[in-house]
Amino acid sequence: MLSSHCSNQQQQRHVLWDIPFPRNRTYSGWQSMVNGSNKKRLTRGNLQRLRTGMNSSAAKTDGVNHVAAASRTSTTQSEATTHDDKLIQHYVPTFVMLPLGVVTAENVIVDKAKLEKQLKELKAAEIDGVMVDVWWGIIEARGPKQYDWRGYRELFLLLKKLDLKIQAIMSFHQCGGNIGDSARNKEYLSLGVDHLPLFGGRTPVQMYGDFMKSFRESMADFFESGLIIDIEVGLGPAGELRYASYPETQGWAFPGIGEFQCYDKYLAADFKEAAAKAGHPEWELPDDAGEYNSRPDQTAFFRSNNGTYLTEKGKFFLTWYSTKLLLHGDEIIDEANKAFLGCKLKLAAKVSGIHWWYNHPSHAAELTAGYYNLPDRDGYRPVARMLSRHNAILNFTCLEMRNSEQPAYAKSAPQELVQMVLSDGWKEGIEVAGENALARYDADGYNQILLNARPNGVRPAMEREKKLRMYGVTILRLTDDLMRPNNLDLFKKFIRKMHADQHYCPELSKYGHAIERLERSKPKLRTEELLEATKPSEAFPWDGETDMPVEPASVFARLLKTILSIFSD
């Protein structure tokens, strides 16, 4: 029986790519097919803080009452009523992503006692909730339409007990294909078979739809209680709307340009048909675009001077390739909208932060992934426009990265990329959220996230008509490293700054996030309407640095930091 929290409208279909499994086990179950992905930890040395006699005074000079005890209980009702009416409007809810294998292939929670202890510590740090991959390969492992939700129901009950909101990812991709994942890749499922009944009479879209319907029915009580507030719709490898163009398990290494993913018989036939309709039956798929680890100027397709990507044939191919991905995402999110129609939640989709070669004229790595983005063509605003008809959140990655941290030879520009994509979302009138691409626990990374979360700061923005603020941020991920005392102390400061120096606020409406029942998506946009959004425009301005850094602003704290840096050299 469906939850009263959701309407009784018929539930339909969902997403695509392949069957996932964590923990170094690869399951073919319905022929798992895609490169999935996750994030590699970025190791950075954390300076030891001087503790004796200094912690209390440093905390006072920071201007925020930080609570050091890990066992601190959650905010009381009286505290929840003391929010500053102006500052609370700049509150950015912050979530922590749970480990990929928090529910094992055997459908049980890994070390539940340890997990509960860690979640209590994070709750004491005043996080707003968690994000969790809901793996199709675990749930439907026993056979077609045989769903087993035991492990996830047990997990959700634990999260409900701790009063932690849930962002649930419908994870249809293979676990283990993104940068740093330990599991193995499988071949990706071509977009060309979205509607082919190749799996026991079911199409991929129908299989995902059946899964979504079962999730909604089986988790009805969690929807009704408001525990699940966000469904991120998996749309490709790593759950991202992109082609599986740079799989580490097939030999790719940063900063390789990746490879186009359209040479299977289904997409090859689709391209030939499209070329013939355009009056060029002689055109073939690119054969001059290099290999996974090529550099742009090592290829005829991406070279700076007269590359194939600048020719009529190249432009036609790239338009076809990127549009296929865009329409795929649009259709799958539409099916998700039907599946969750009437539920109190927001839909979201993730876009990958492919920042390497952004400063090369060809933007080669973006092009192979399906983002037709060039200096004179916006490859991301069409995605935002597509999401706008579903009132879906655009979730972007690499929020923590700065240009100065990237190797010069990769011609990376993560700061400009983030600024561009977030601006595109805001211009199309949708909410934008984000996450870090690589795990890190330092002030520089946190401060860059804070800057992107509120590009024009807090206090100056109070007087402005347009207040740029991200809808939410998710931190990758819950690990033993994050829970180390020094890292956890800094993380608590980060959470407080994300909350604009306010305590945790359980009332979403106080900071403008009241969630309404999901309504039907708007009518489908014509391809021409989507492509109109490719016209480039200036991004919104960003401040040089956040006005709410995690580092203490006092003279004492600056002196302490200087002393520590001297002894660490």
Q: Which residues are annotated as a binding site for substrate?
A: 133, 173, 181, 350, 355, 397, 436-437, 477
Residue 207 identity (one-letter amino acid): M
In the residue annotation, 435 being an active-site residue is answered as yes
| Alpha helices, DSSP H, located in 162-253 | 204-218, 220-224
DSSP 71-99: TPPPPPHHHHT---TTGGGG---EEEEPP
CA distance 162 to 115: 12
Q: Is the peptide bond before 552 cis (omega within 30 degrees of 0)?
A: no
CA distance 348 to 508: 17
Closest among 372, 37, 331, 50 to 180, alpha carbons compared: 37
Q: Binding site: what residues are annotated?
A: 133, 173, 181, 350, 355, 397, 436-437, 477
Element (H, E) at 157: helix 150-161
CA distance 36 to 134: 13
Q: C-alpha angle 316/320/323, rounded to 5°?
A: 135
Half-sphere exposure of 558 (CA within 13 A, CB side): 4
Among residues 121, 126, 240, 366, the one annotated as catalytic is 240
Burial of 566 (0-12, 13-18, 19+ CB in 10 A): exposed
Residue 330 identity (one-letter amino acid): D
DSSP code at position 64: S
Query: C-alpha distances in angstroms, 538 versus 381, 416, 420?
Result: 12, 11, 8
Among residues 121, 126, 232, 435, the one annotated as catalytic is 435
Contact in structure between 320 and 327 (CB atoms under 8 Å): no
In the residue annotation, 273 being an active-site residue is answered as no
CA distance 493 to 504: 13
Token pair for residue 326?
């865009």
Lookup result for tokens 């200036």: 538
Cβ neighbours around 405 below 10 Å, total: 15
Residue 172 identity (one-letter amino acid): F
CA distance 548 to 457: 7
Lookup result for tokens 């601190």: 72
- Cross-strand bridge partners of residue 395: 350, 433
Burial of 304 (0-12, 13-18, 19+ CB in 10 A): exposed
Q: C-alpha dihedral over 19, 241, 186, 480, to 10 degrees? A: -80
**Catalytic amino acids?**
240, 435
